[in-house]
């Protein structure tokens, strides 16, 4: 029987998705036959956007690329990977400051499931300073985020009332 295509999973909060995430997904799509973007349902944080909206925005932002699967998950990433047939975890590496945390998580995931391999991708330099937190802060202060997020995300942020 032929091997199933190598699937890579890109987990994150994506609250909201920004152009750094888009850059990583494009790079992953060039390498892996199957890319799954997985939005983490994190119960401890108060999100800006509901998980279903984040999934929808990623789907619409990546529609032009074709073949990107977008879903949400809760619980352990390695359990979700085994259910979805993926053994590669994709993570973006913006700067050395990302390294320590990412290295720890990569080793822990492999301890939890020996077949889990983490692959780090670096974005174009112009996106290295971008994070969802920075996007949210600028948006909450009424700044222009149009050059930082994909069009569908900008449209949603534009109509969302600013927090008081
Ligand atoms: P953020 O760090 O922006 O809040 P997430 O928690 O959703 O975003 O991160 C999901 C993944 O995307 C992580 O691996 C993170 O390192 C990566 N990532 C986030 N921002 C960027 C960026 N500007 N360039 C490359 N990768 C990024």
Exactly one of 18, 21, 54, 136 is catalytic; name it.
Answer: 21
Out of 18, 34, 54, 94, the active site residue is: 94
Does the CB atom of residue 24 touch ligand 1 within 6 A? yes
Domain spans, the chain: 7-157
Task: Check pocket membership of 152 for ligand 1, CB cut-off 6 A.
Answer: no
State pLDDT tens for residues 19-70: 999 999 999 999 999 999 999 998 767 899 999 999 999 999 999 898 899 9
Atom 12, ligand 1: residue with shortest CA distance: 92
pLDDT tens per residue, range 94-139: 988 889 999 999 999 999 999 999 999 999 999 999 999 999 999 9
| 7-157 is classed CATH 3.40.50.620 | yes
> What is the residue-wise DSSP string for 47-108?
-SS-HHHHHHHHHHHTTTT--EEEEEE-S-HHHHHHHHT--EEEEE--SHHHHHHHHHHHHH
């Amino acid at each position: 029987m032929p091997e199933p295509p190598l699937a890579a999973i890109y987990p994150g909060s994506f609250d909201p998705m920004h152009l750094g995430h888009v850059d990583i997904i494009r790079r992953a799509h060039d390498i892996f036959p199957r890319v799954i973007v997985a939005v983490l349902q994190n119960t401890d944080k108060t999100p800006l956007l509901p998980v279903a909206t984040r999934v929808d925005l990623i789907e619409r932002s990546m529609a032009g690329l074709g073949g990107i699967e977008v879903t949400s998950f809760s619980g352990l990433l390695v359990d979700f990977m085994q259910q979805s047939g993926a053994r590669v975890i994709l993570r973006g590496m913006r700067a050395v400051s990302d390294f320590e945390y990412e290295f720890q998580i990569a080793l822990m995931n492999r301890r939890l499931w020996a077949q889990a391999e983490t692959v780090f991708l670096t974005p174009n330099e112009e996106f290295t300073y971008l994070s969802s937190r920075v996007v949210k802060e600028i948006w909450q202060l009424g700044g222009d985020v149009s050059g930082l997020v994909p069009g569908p995300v900008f449209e949603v942020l534009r109509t969302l009332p600013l927090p008081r």
